[in-house]
Amino acid sequence: MRRWAWPVIRALSVVPVAGCSGSLPPLRGQIEVGRDAYAVFVAGTGAAGGDLYAVRAEGGEALPITFTNVGEMRPRLSPDGTSIVFLRGRSLVDSTPATIWVMNLLSGADRELVLPKGAGPPTVAAWSAGGRLIVVATSKGLYQFDAPPASGDARPVPVVQRAVAESSLAVLLGHPAFARVVPCTETGAICLASGSGAPELLAHDAHDAAGWGPDSVAFFVGDEVEIRPLGAGRARRLAWAGVPSAPRQLTFFAGSSSPQPE
């Protein structure tokens, strides 16, 4: 897998460090990015989202990734765990996502991905399974970018590739995937769909599910994260601390057993 070292396009998103300028790796000394298992989530009460935070898979302190006067939302970690794509709102009070950003968590550099005029506002962005594309759903269609640091403009997803692109945007469970998270008819519940059968209830009074490695699913119950095995086993709650208000919108990297290449 590749480690990216981008030029800094903007430094809006990195937590300021006294006496330093420019971008710094936001998780340096806390999480070994690309190797350790960790989750990223949104927290804060702005209508357009809050800031991004990280927490190790075993729990512990919530670690800030961004600290801005605009709202960040809907993060997705790359398959290699070194980068994150997310949306930024126009402000903390405007709930319309305005722009798409990618941050390299190894360097702290971030970069805006610009949609063509008339594409409509983005609603969600995600990585392709191999991490070489970023797929974006907007109010008017599907677009894809070559993953940074490659340059290039957004292009519409061809009709023959729409099913694959939509799978990238879905929350898939298992490896290989055997189910996906879908809305329930019951308000405030999470369901799973597999095969051609009717969706099955996963949890009442829950929201924002994400795959938690190849054999578990995680979701929010109130302000807590519940991690439930997809097979036999008992559910557990993530033991975390220092969590800001209204945590939500979880994404997870399962970790790597071997060092990432330079």
> pLDDT tens digit string along 30-72?
999 999 999 999 999 877 679 999 999 999 999 999 988 888 9
Residue 95: the pLDDT is 65
Report d(CA 209, CA 18) in Å as an integer: 36
Residue 255: the pLDDT is 95
**Least confident among 16-30, 195-209, 225-239:** 16-30
Token pair listed for 19 = 């006496």
Report d(CA 196, CA 260) in Å as an integer: 39
Task: Identify whether the C-beta of residue 70 lies closer than 8 Å to the C-beta of residue 48.
Answer: yes
| Percent residues over pLDDT 70 in the chain | 86
At residue 187, does pLDDT exceed 70? yes
- The whole-number average pLDDT for the span 177-194 is 92
pLDDT tens per residue across span 145-171:
999 888 778 999 999 899 999 999 999
* DSSP β-ladder status, 216-221 and 240-241: unpaired
| Maximum Cα interatomic distance, the chain, rounded to a whole number of Å | 58
At residue 201, does pLDDT exceed 90? yes
Residue 166: the pLDDT is 94
Residue 184: the pLDDT is 92
- Does this model's pTM top 0.85? My answer is yes
At residue 137, does pLDDT exceed 70? yes
The pLDDT-based confidence of 16 (bands split at 50, 70, 90) is very low
Distant-in-sequence, close-in-space partners of 72: CB < 8 Å, separation ≥ 6? 13, 42, 49, 50, 51, 52, 66, 86, 87, 88, 89, 101
Residue 15: the pLDDT is 40
Report d(CA 170, CA 245) in Å as an integer: 26
At residue 9, does pLDDT exceed 70? no
What average pLDDT is seen over the chain? 87
